[in-house]
Amino acid sequence: MPELPEVEVIRRDLEKEAEGKKIKAVEVNSMRVVRRHPNKKHFVKLLEDRKIRTVSRKGKYLLLRLDDENTMVIHLGMSGQLLKEKSAKAPMEPHTHVVITFTQGGQLRYVDPRQFGELFVAPKDELNEIAELAHLGIDPVEEPLSWQLFASLLAQRKAKLKSVLMDQKFVAGIGNIYSDEILFAAGLRYDRQSDELASQEVRRLYRSLLEILHEAIKYRGTSAADEQFRDLYGELGGYQEFLKVYQHTNEPCRRCRTPIVRAKFSQRSTWYCPQCQT
């Protein structure tokens, strides 16, 4: 599943490729990906002849504000991809469910084999009432905060560190990949209690969180073994080359050479170094 860095990469690409463009036509091939609308025509009508004013992000949600103040919300789900094509004649990828054609030429295509993602248009007076957006936690990339405030919020959670990092109501956008990498960089085990950390450990955790997310964005996200993530131009991310523990079972730790361990935690796989992370 794309996490915060991958969605931020797409946001920046969309900012260059879609802002200021007028939508000429919209084609929907699956009702499931526009499921919040009563029918396909309803979704199409809200987009055609509208201009995209701004592109922003909230957690893992892309927000494309239109010139009528409504907002198209895009969530990539497990396997969604948003691709830019220069020409409508370009071959169509399998599982392409929504095609947005601009008046100036070119298209945005939403591809999603598993169809867990979605697109919908939120009226301007209802955007803040969408539960998934209203309950999102801090965004360390968009709105950095002091480590002291982070420490206070962390202590209030009273849960295992990995669960806290992946709790979208605490930090928006972090999933399995980056929680493992952040904890390794901070030298902390996934099952440590959030309210029992020393101040120095909290500072390490927050510094690692910021550094890992910004580095992942710099290298245009992570395309893991399934290569599911592609940027707006269909290119793979590059941060998978820098992952230290995620999917590195039994490989030597880059710090101490101890084999990386894969464990089960909350019905997920988690990777860590038993020597470096305490």
Q: Which two tokens stand for residue 68?
A: 């009528």
Euclidean distance between CA atoms 120 and 111, whole angstroms: 15
Euclidean distance between CA atoms 131 and 169, whole angstroms: 11
Is 89 one of the catalytic residues?
Answer: no
Is 3 one of the catalytic residues?
Answer: yes
Euclidean distance between CA atoms 73 and 11, whole angstroms: 12
Contacts 24+ apart (CB under 8 A), 239-244: 239/5, 239/215, 242/215, 243/177, 243/181, 244/181, 244/184, 244/185
Is 218 one of the catalytic residues?
Answer: no
User: 56: how many CB neighbours lie within 10 A of its CB?
Assistant: 14
Which residue is catalytic, options 11, 60, 65, 162? 60
Which residue is catalytic, options 2, 6, 17, 230? 2
Find the length of the chain. 278
Euclidean distance between CA atoms 205 and 161, whole angstroms: 10
What letters, b where the CB count within 10 A reaches 16 and e where it falls short, cover 245-257?
Answer: bbbbeeeebeeee
Is 230 one of the catalytic residues?
Answer: no
Which residue is catalytic, options 21, 24, 160, 268? 268
Sheet holding 61-66, edge to edge: 52-58, 61-66, 71-75, 118-122
* Backbone angles phi and psi of 79, in degrees to 5: -135, 15
Q: Are 269 and 260 in contact (CB under 8 A)?
A: no
Known catalytic residues?
Answer: 2-3, 60, 268
